[in-house]
Structure 1
Amino acid sequence: MTDIDPGHAAPDTRTRPRTAVVTGASRGLGLALARELARDGWNLVIDARGAPALEDAAEELRETAASSAASGTAVIAALAGDVADPAHRAALARTALEIGHGVDLLVNNASVLGTTPLPRLAAQPLADLERAFAVNTVAPLALVQALLPALRERGGAVLNITSDAAVEGYETWGGYGATKAALEQLSRVLAAEEPGLAVWWTDPGEMRTRMLREAGEDADAAPPPEEAAAALYRLVTDRLPSGRHQAADLAGER
């Protein structure tokens, strides 16, 4: 499903509006990052699997763009679907090119935990692990491939959301952590192969999200995702070098 409505937002300081694709943007960190972009006047293409929640998020983002202090017109497009579905990915890329005539930023945020409660590797259902790799690793690369010509043309950026589970040996986090470790390696190689782009792979830290709660962690004790989003948005505004970044470090440097 596609829904494209204009909102009121700040114009770009360059001669054209900026356009971003943000996956998993109906809640949590994805929505918080989309808010940061909407406040700054970006055109947005957002996705999530649940259509009602995604439409609610799109309406909120349109209001956020409309209440921005500057003038201009931002377009918010919402497409419900699964990033593991090639047809959905093609629709995301096509819509971004239609509304923005190019792409400046891809945020690969959509993610799944896999089996819950999180199992030890000895009991990891392989079908669930394959699904997690399809969503957390293969889909981000596929979106990069689909948008790479447009990103190259604009000297754009790729922001891949990873996890400390990608680099730490936490018990029961082996399956999810493996998908994120693979995403980090893909990001590292992409940065080497595409020096004209900014490529960031980022650990947002623990956040008060449904995903953390589903993992069996104390989500209520974690900070809200808006804190991590504000820190990570500094990568975009300051065009920091390609590499692995942690939200906690970025927040401390502001």
Structure 2
Amino acid sequence: MDITTAGTASAPVAVITGASRGLGLELARALARDGWRLVITARSAADLAVVEAELAAVTEVAALAGSVVDDDHRERLAAAAEKLGGAALLVNNAGTLTGYDLAGAPMPALADFPLPGLLETFEVNVLGPIALTQLLLPQLRHHGGSIVNLSSDAAREAYVGWSGYGASKAALDHASAVLALEEPEVRVWVVEPGDMRTDMYQEAFPGEDISDRPLPADTAVPGILALIARHPASGRYLAETLTGSH
């Protein structure tokens, strides 16, 4: 593990999954500017290395490439956070639309959804976040910390082609609500970021112009930062309402 020191040992620690692009990357940048020390992860080692080099100039960062589905990788993330003093924030941002590369194809109908892909969708979007949360809960309890679980309107609305993703996010929503009851000393926030101009959103709408969607740094990140700053009760929040931009 390569940890570059640029901040202070007293600064809080955040663990962010899916931090090499999109919302995860922009949130990591914002938290680094606010003085947080970071444990970041993403599947692509090359992309993560670029992010690590950028953030190491701002704060203390541990970057570990891997999948949240991998048991050993989750253990390494928890150990990295513990080494920095323990996580005060966990952001479960890593996710998958279908569990496989769409390669320009439309989102699959449930009748045609490949079962290995459906299984992967639930492993990445539900099992991975829950398992990582289990490992980090002792640290989060100690720091009176918080969990941000990224959700979607597809978790509460039915859209053609969004069966796997929507169902997995609905499952994570419900698990989060139960966790909030079971862990009253830890804030558990489900955040619906809204449509964003990201690679993942583009994959869901191949060939469409999504330039009218806001960038993650425009609405979702400010909303999550407001949530962290205000530290409200556990619950489900729309990012745009947290900044009064709705």
Distance 2:127 2:60 in 1: 28
Contact kept, 8 Å, 1:164 with 1:203, in 2: the verdict is yes
Aligned to 1:7: 6
Deviations 1:177-206 (A, max 9, x none): 011000000100011111101110010001
TM, length-normalised to structure 2: 0.93
Distance 1:5 1:29 in 2: 23
2:240 is matched by which residue type in structure 1? A
Distance 2:183 2:16 in 1: 20
TM, length-normalised to structure 1: 0.90
The 5 Å alignment of 1:25-44 reads 25-44=19-38
1:62 is matched by which residue type in structure 2? A
- Cα distance, 1:62 vs. partner? 2.3
Deviations 1:42-97 (A, max 9, x none): 1100000001111111122223x2xxxxxxxx411100001100000000000110
Distance 1:38 1:30 in 2: 12
Residue aligned with 1:225, SS: coil
Aligned to 1:246: 238
Residue aligned with 2:217, SS: helix
Contact kept, 8 Å, 1:212 with 1:218, in 2: the verdict is no
Aligned to 1:215: 204
Asked if 1:130 corresponds to 2:115, the answer is no
Alignment partner of 2:130 out of 115, 131, 141: 141
Distance 1:85 1:208 in 2: 28
- Report how many aligned residue pairs link the two structures: 238
Distance 1:7 1:113 in 2: 35
1:164 is matched by which residue type in structure 2? D
Aligned to 1:69: none
Percent identical across equivalent pairs? 49
In structure 1, the gaps of 5 or more residues are 66-73
Alignment partner of 1:95 out of 50, 65, 80: 80
Aligned to 2:40: 46
Counting helix residues as a fraction of each chain, which structure ranks higher?
1
1:43 is matched by which residue type in structure 2? R
Distance 1:203 1:110 in 2: 14
2:242 is matched by which residue type in structure 1? L
Aligned to 1:163: 152
- Cα distance, 1:253 vs. partner? 6.6
Residue aligned with 2:190, SS: strand
Aligned to 2:222: 230
Residue aligned with 2:138, SS: helix
Asked if 1:19 corresponds to 2:13, the answer is yes
